[in-house]
Amino acid sequence: MQFTLTSFLLTLLAILTMAAAVQAPQKSVIISYPEGTPMNVMEQAKKYIKEAGGAITHEYNIIMGFAATGPAAAFDMVTAMGTKYNMEIEEDQVVSAYDGSSTGGMGIN
């Protein structure tokens, strides 16, 4: 009974997320999973993101993870799907070692 209720609630959340995703602003994220996470868990997340109107922009080989763009609500659902496996979602952003100062760009004074 508990499994049926959980499945129903996840399905309902997925439907509501997809409906909200139609007009939601896009967000860029990096999603990673710890070693030992079943591959089908990551594949389900990628499939869901695509179904919600998002895209997988890069798949990593060194870590178990991928970069994606999509509606923020879709990533909320992916987070709920991955809680059992301690997956992490972080905003994808540009990282630079140059800070714009005249100290050689490394922040050294």
Within 10 Å of residue 77's Cβ, how many Cβ atoms?
21
Say which CATH class 2-91 falls into.
Answer: alpha beta
* Residue 75 token pair: 């990533």
Question: For the chain, what are the domain ranges?
Answer: 2-91
Q: Is the pLDDT of residue 58 over 90?
A: yes
The answer for 105, left when phi > 0, alpha when psi is -120 to 50, beta otherwise, is left
Global pTM exceeds 0.75: no
Q: Write out pLDDT tens, residues 22-57.
A: 556 788 999 999 999 999 999 999 999 999 999 999
* Residue 50 token pair: 């695509």
